[in-house]
Amino acid sequence: MFIRERAQELTGYQEAEPFHEKIDLGCDFVMVYGIGATMPERVRQYRQRGYVVHLMTGIAWGEYQDYLYGKWDGRQHWDESQTDRDGKRILHGKDVPYMVPTIAFADYLTEKLKAAVDSGVEAIHLEEPEFFDNGGYSEAFKREYKLHYRQDWSPPHESLDTRYKASRLKALLYSRALTRVSAALKEYALVKYNRVLRVYVPTHSLLNYTQWKIMSPEGGLIDIPSIDGCIAQVWTGTSRSANVFEGVLRERTFETAYLEYGIMQELVRGTGRDMWFLHDPIEDNPDYDWEDYRVNYLKTVTASLLHPEIHTYEICPWPNRVYRRAYPIDRASRKPREGARYIPEDYASLLNGLAQTLGDMDHPLSDMDNGLGVLMSDTGLYQRTFPDNTHKPTPWDEKTLRKFQLWTPDAAASFFELMGETTPADGQPFTQADASRAFFKKFEHDPDFMLAFIESGAFPQFFGLTLPLLKYGLPLRPVQLDNLRRFPGYLDGYRRLVLSYEYLKPETPDINNCLAEWVSGGGTLFYVGDGSDPYHKADAWWNRGKADRRLRADYNNPAEHLFEMLGLPIKAGQSRAPEDGVYKSGSGTVAVLNATPASFCMSPEAAARYRHWIREQLAAEGCGWTYKNYLRLRRGPYIIACVMEESVSEEPLVLKGSFADIYTPDFALITEKILRPGENTLLYDLSYSGREDGGKTDGQIIGASARVFSLNCGAAENSMEIKCRAAAEINAYIRVYLQKPVTSVTAVDEEGGHVAADVKWDAVTGTALFSFRGNAKDITITGRYS
């Protein structure tokens, strides 16, 4: 709802700098960032402006030099910096290392954060519990390894067992730190102030952390009782990470964001905890222009809105860098490039409009089902890199990935050299897509190349299972495998799931028992895997019988145990996997495809083979899947849609009706919206009533780029009144449905100053568009009826 109490905390932002009138965005809460000396004053400033105030700081990094250099407790703590195998510290900035979260560090943070509790913040956010995959070599981590596993540390790059165990421990250490800090602060707030403090964890998605190879608790956060929820840190910077579809390596911001937001909501589903989806109008890389930022921002917003179970949002991290800096900025010099400019006025108005619209997303009506679930697990984080000598050197590495993304003349030349060619075979210039397809075609049957590809940042084992389906209009939802043990009936909302143990592992055998029970009850399980993942050979519950014959578990991989629980026939030979086919199990069905999921990324033919396999089984179950190039959803009066590139066709999606276009600065009125591939929309359907009598409510707000405190359609005999506030130096708009036309308008601010305002009446829709220039002051607008 547009008019509401800020205590509902539907929308918020984070900011490290003091309050400024340009960032008076009218959301519900502000997360003051950092626990330095200026923190209490910044808390006071935002509270004075009417915001609910939280605090945010890093749990893995921050301005913690007093701890590092021994000023805190008399002992230097640089040995707690995350460190790679060459002894190089992993840094976030100068004197800001990523930390091994020791007991001492957790206790230090607890003491420092008590000042925030003393300042009266309502909640504390401990962001980004991150331990890098290439870390794990510091003295502090070696100590933690010895204490946890009761054995001396071994270099993670030397064996599957040590790498998996080290990676798992990294996530466990952050679970311990979050548990210790959150519980201590909650006790402190209750004992000293009789106040219940809330603690949240802003974190990247499991998909992104797996893609970027960063260990973090993710699903493990559910097991920490003193955590009240999360912020899904999904934005252009995470979602533009390149992946491979049909042999083409490129950014796919919308599709990746859709999958990222999807797995994040699983961290709170069924828990009663809070979740805010984050959007960023720019991103951490300052070297893009405003058009790039705008296009990708709207892709992430659209992707998030296609998950209707979440209706709360972080509207912007760091608004100062959005509204008060010019872009692009050279990353090396940190100075604006030639031609850099400040935020365009229409984009500023659009952003402020979305800041208000996102507070109006709690609507029960949704017309898109869950489609198909694709299982993920925290264990996928632990096997993202293979030990040394797992595969021979290949042409694929992270440098190759970057070359294909940039596709400069130098990159093209090195490609031709790699392929043994000097010019394209047909004499025509190679596009980046042509080169990428040729590259993957050349190496698609090379097992060493496949292993290098699997451990790359493209994360093909997951995207191979998802993009061929999502791109053709099948709604997908990532599902947290680990939650099967946490919540009875967790899978009750699903009829069909896709699973592969080639990129994740069940931590315990009872997960397979839960899956078998779900299938027996009528579910359909699509299993994809060929048993080729090296981590099947790591020491684990499914293979310990090979070393100890007293144990029955002597399976080659956890899928064999699952097949046994499902009662499937096994093919002849040492493997206990069934042949490709469809099998009955109880009242349910199991479809098996013996393949590596990453192989479906390699070519259009491979993607089509997998897609057809899924579609054929859906048809057999009477669930028709008509290929389409778009996703569309209704949330109350709002229609959200995106048309995807690289899909079944280039046909546009045409939406007809009476709409207000929310992705325009003034909520433009239209009767037709044409979406071409790569385009998206958020429309307010003006024919929507929401009332049982089908009528419309006088004074219903359609869109607003100002915070509206009240709207009175009968303020006086012949007038109406709006009390609102908009950030300084933006063109603000409020579109309202009214039963009578407004022909003139006046406006004054809280100090009695005149504010230039205008109104435009549209007789067809019965809406009035009020406009004025924001000044970060309360404004009263009076409209007079004709």
Burial category of 333 from C-beta neighbours within 10 Å (exposed 0-12, middle 13-18, buried 19 and up): exposed
Tell me: pLDDT of 426 over 60: no
Give tens-digit pLDDT for 613-657: 999 999 999 988 999 999 999 999 999 999 999 999 999 999 999
Task: Give the position of tokens 């040394």.
Answer: 388
Question: Can you give the pLDDT at residue 367?
Answer: 65
What is the band of 418 on the pLDDT scale with cuts at 50, 70, 90? Answer: low
Q: What are phi and psi of 659, to 5 degrees?
A: -130, 155
Query: Which has more confidence, 694 or 182?
Result: 182
Tell me: pLDDT of 424 over 60: no
Q: What are phi and psi of 684, to 5 degrees?
A: -100, 120
Tell me: pLDDT of 119 over 90: yes
For residues 529-554, give the mean pLDDT: 85
Question: Can you give the pLDDT at residue 91?
Answer: 97
Give tens-digit pLDDT for 715-749: 778 999 999 999 999 999 999 999 999 999 999 99
Tell me: pLDDT of 60 over 60: yes
Tell me: pLDDT of 662 over 60: yes
Tell me: pLDDT of 425 over 60: no
Give tens-digit pLDDT for 562-579: 999 999 988 666 678 899
Share of the chain above pLDDT 70, in %: 93
> What pTM did the predictor assign?
0.96
Give tens-digit pLDDT for 131-165: 999 999 999 999 999 999 999 999 999 999 999 99
Query: Which has more confidence, 715 or 486?
Result: 486
Share of the chain above pLDDT 90, in %: 86
Question: Can you give the pLDDT at residue 699?
Answer: 92
Question: Can you give the pLDDT at residue 315?
Answer: 98
* Least confident interval from 242-251, 387-396, 500-509: 387-396
Tell me: pLDDT of 682 over 70: yes
Task: Give the position of tokens 């929401």.
Answer: 690
Cα(185)–Cα(124) distance, integer angstroms: 9
Q: What are phi and psi of 683, to 5 degrees?
A: -115, 145
What is the band of 704 on the pLDDT scale with cuts at 50, 70, 90? Answer: very high
Give tens-digit pLDDT for 31-51: 999 999 999 999 999 999 999
447-477 burial: b if 16+ Cβ within 10 Å, else e:
eebbbbbbbbbbbbbbbbbbbbbbbbbbbbb
Nearest partner of 781 among 754, 751, 750, 745, judged by Cα: 745
Question: Can you give the pLDDT at residue 7?
Answer: 97
Cα(526)–Cα(498) distance, integer angstroms: 5
For residues 15-23, give the mean pLDDT: 98
Token couple for 94: 């100068």
Q: What are phi and psi of 545, to 5 degrees?
A: -70, -15
Give tens-digit pLDDT for 258-275: 999 999 999 998 899 999
Token couple for 629: 């190039």
| Mean model confidence pLDDT for the chain | 93
3-state secondary structure 235-296: CHHHHCCCEEECCEEECCHHHHHHHHHHHHHHHCCCCCCEEEEECCCCCCCCCCCHHHHHHH
Token couple for 783: 């409209």
